[in-house]
């Protein structure tokens, strides 16, 4: 089959890209190896930057971020048993929305199908050919094992951290800058009322915890754990004990835990974001640790840039946007890499931390919460840098 833009991966990045291209009158085909049900039910992050919500507003009534999601005007940083509010409204006049990624995906899938998008689930990309020509091709296979070849004018790899497109762009499936962390998050979903009005990011001698939310009756919480932790190794009572001891000074409201997972931490930026007529966006291009909630927002910022660059290239024959895409995208990517690394190191307790490290960390936390400038840096990064900056 032929199309103008072949999009590999129907996550938030790929689906939003197909929407923005469609608005510019550019046809695309989106493929994903997963089923629709799998895509729409995978539990991922929960926080949308203001700019992300504004872009999703372009889906019209299909975006439920403002109606089902909740605006948050601040977060709490908790350490030494005390909470300190970072007031986004006061610091930067911006906000974030708590609206889970799988709900964003449901909105995007519904909007794209309603618009007649060629969106194919269960189709696995196996490689990309002729990347450096003006007719790149995606070589794929459908759920029945039949070969499918998509010939396009441009190919976008929005196929996540195990990207197939990455090898075409960087020359190897691993090619990038990366670091690993000696800890992970144990995440739970539970049936309970919220423990606080806003999210709590808590540092304690026993490690980090994040008290997040999903709704009036379902809560999402995480606690720092060893990356090799087995989710089955804890009883519910033990999980509540681990969580509670990492948020001293607050009392968590408990309830049945119905989901558990371990999230490994990794920072990664691909060495290249484009080769010829193939570009990478989202997790295919970069990964951040979850502290700071930048992952999906960064994917959406890439897409906003690339959609405009493709519009100029495919409608006006102007290649400058595409040529500038890697450099422009990388500026925001490295700011977000720094912020995610910084929030992670600010709040977690490294397994080899000394008494000095521990006291220095509290000094750093105080430098942030006791300074209007410190609070403003955190608020600016968390709510998302303006797109045009
Ligand atoms: C959630 C996840 C994050 O990584 C974060 O920083 C805030 C909230 C969440 O899943 O709710």
Kindly report, residue by residue over 57-78, the tens digit of the pLDDT: 999 999 999 999 999 999 999 9
Domain count within the chain: 2
Distance 372 CA to ligand 1 centre (A): 24
The average pLDDT across 309-332 equals 98
Q: Is the CB of 212 under 6 A from ligand 1?
A: yes
pLDDT at 49 over 80: yes
226 and 334 within one domain: no
Do 275 and 297 have their domain in common? Answer: yes
Report how far residue 87's alpha carbon sits from residue 368's, in angstroms, rounded to the nearest whole number: 12
The reply to whether 208 falls in a domain is: yes
The torsion of the CA quartet 192, 193, 195, 198, rounded to 10 degrees, works out to 130
ipTM over 0.90: yes
Ligand 1 touching residue 246 (CB < 6 A)? no
Residue 294 annotated among the catalytic residues of the structure: yes
- Asked whether residue 81 is assigned to any structural domain, the reply reads no
For 15-26, what is each residue's pLDDT tens digit? 999 999 999 999
Alpha carbon of 165 to ligand 1 centroid (Å): 28
**For residue 224, what is the domain's CATH number?**
3.30.9.10
Q: Do residues 203 and 313 both lie within one domain?
A: no
Same domain, 225 and 332: no
Q: Residue 389 pLDDT more than 70? A: no
Q: Is 172 among the domain residues?
A: yes
Give the pLDDT confidence score for residue 318 in this predicted structure: 98
Does 122 map to a domain? yes
SS3 readout for the chain: CECCEEEECCCHHHHHHHHHHHHCCCCEEEEECCCHHHHHHCCCCCEEEHHHHHHHHHHHHHCCCCCCCEEECEEEEEECCEEEEEEHHHHHCCCEEECCHHHHHHHHHHHHHHCCCEEEECCEEEEEECCCCCCCEEEEECCCCCEEEEECCEEEECCCCCCCHHHHHHCCCCCEEEEEEEEEEEEEEEECCCCCCCCEEEEECCEEEEECCCCCCEEEEEEEECCCCCHHHCCHHHHHHHHHHCCCCCCCCCCCEEEEEEEEEEEEEECCCEECCEEECHHHCEECCCCCCCHHHHHHHHHHHHHHHHHHHHHHCCCHHHHHHHHHHHHHHHHHHHHHHHHHHHHCCCCCCCHHHHHHHHHHHHHHHCCHHHHHHHHHHHHCCCCCC
- Whether residues 339 and 372 fall in one domain: no
Q: Whose CA is nearest to atom 3 of ligand 1?
A: 293
**Residue-level pLDDT at 44:** 84
Q: What is the CATH number of the domain that holds 136?
A: 3.50.50.60
Mention every residue, 6+ apart, whose C-beta is less than 8 A from residue 340. Answer: 267, 288, 289, 290, 291, 292, 294
Any domain includes 253 = yes
pLDDT at 388: 73
Co-location of 166 and 201 in the same domain: no
**196 and 114: one domain?**
no
Is the CB of 289 within 6 Å of ligand 1?
Answer: no
Q: What percent of the chain has pLDDT over 70?
A: 100
Q: Is residue 112 part of a domain?
A: yes
Sorted by sequence, the CB contacts under 8 Å of residue 387 that are 6+ apart come out as 51, 301, 304
| 201 part of the active site | yes
pLDDT tens, residue by residue, 154-174:
999 999 999 999 999 999 878
Tell me which residue range forms the domain holding 143. Answer: 5-71+96-178+266-346
Both 42 and 119 in one domain: the answer is yes
- Whether 84 is covered by a domain: the verdict is no
Measured from the CA of 291, which atom of ligand 1 is nearest?
6
Q: In the predicted model, what is the mean pLDDT of the chain?
A: 97
| pLDDT at site 172 | 86
- Shared domain for 140 and 217, answered yes or no, is no
Reported as a single tens digit per residue, the pLDDT across 190-215 is 999 999 999 999 999 999 999 999 99
Candidates 12, 19, 62, 72; catalytic one: 72
Binding site membership of 282 for ligand 1 (Cβ less than 6 Å): no
Ligand 1 test: best mutation among 46, 288, 336, 343, most atoms within 8 Å of CB?
46
Residue 90: inside a domain: no
Q: What is the pLDDT of residue 246?
A: 98
Query: Which residue is closest in CA terms to ligand 1's atom 9?
Result: 46
Q: Report the C-alpha gap between 134 and 155 in whole angstroms.
A: 10
Q: Are residues 257 and 112 in the same domain?
A: no
Q: 108 with 188, same domain?
A: no
* Residue 321 Cβ contacting ligand 1 at under 6 Å: no
Percentage of the chain exceeding pLDDT 90: 97
| Residue 325: active-site member | no
Residues 112 and 251 in one domain: no
Q: What is the pLDDT of residues 229-271, one digit of tens each?
A: 999 999 999 999 999 999 999 999 999 999 999 999 999 999 9
């Amino acid at each position: 089959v032929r199309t103008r833009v072949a999009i590999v991966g129907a996550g938030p990045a790929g689906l939003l890209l197909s929407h923005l291209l469609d608005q510019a009158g550019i046809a695309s085909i989106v493929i994903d190896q997963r089923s629709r049900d799998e895509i729409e039910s995978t539990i991922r992050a929960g926080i949308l930057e203001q700019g992300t919500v504004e872009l999703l507003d372009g889906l019209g009534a299909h975006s439920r971020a403002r109606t089902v999601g909740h605006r948050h005007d601040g977060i709490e940083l908790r350490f030494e048993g005390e909470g300190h509010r970072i007031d986004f409204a006061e610091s930067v006049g911006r906000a974030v929305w708590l609206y889970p990624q799988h709900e964003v995906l449901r909105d995007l899938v519904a909007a794209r199908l309603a618009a007649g998008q060629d969106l194919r689930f269960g189709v696995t990309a196996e490689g990309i050919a002729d990347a450096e020509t003006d007719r790149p091709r995606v070589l794929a296979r459908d759920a029945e094992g039949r070969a499918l070849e998509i010939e396009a004018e441009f190919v976008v790899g929005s196929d996540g951290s195990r990207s197939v497109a990455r090898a075409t762009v960087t020359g190897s499936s691993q090619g990038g800058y990366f670091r690993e962390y000696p800890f992970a998050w144990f995440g739970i979903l539970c049936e309970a009322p919220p423990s606080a009005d806003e999210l709590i990011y808590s540092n304690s001698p026993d490690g980090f915890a994040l008290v997040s939310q999903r709704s009036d009756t379902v809560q999402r919480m995480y606690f720092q754990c060893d990356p090799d932790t087995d989710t089955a190794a804890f009883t519910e009572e033990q999980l509540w004990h681990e969580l509670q001891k990492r948020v001293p000074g607050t009392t968590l409201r408990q309830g049945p835990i119905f989901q558990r997972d371990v999230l490994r931490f990794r920072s990664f930026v691909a060495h290249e974001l484009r080769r010829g007529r193939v570009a990478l966006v989202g997790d295919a291009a970069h990964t951040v640790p979850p502290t700071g909630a930048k992952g999906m927002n960064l994917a959406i910022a890439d897409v906003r840039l690339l959609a405009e660059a493709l519009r100029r290239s495919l409608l006006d024959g102007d290649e400058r946007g595409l040529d500038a895409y890697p450099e422009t995208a990388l500026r925001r990517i490295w700011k977000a890499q720094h912020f995610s690394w910084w929030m992670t190191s600010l709040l977690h307790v490294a397994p080899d931390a000394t008494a000095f490290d521990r006291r220095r960390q509290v000094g750093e936390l105080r430098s942030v919460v006791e300074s209007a400038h410190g609070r403003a840096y955190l608020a600016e990064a968390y709510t998302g840098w303006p797109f045009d900056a």
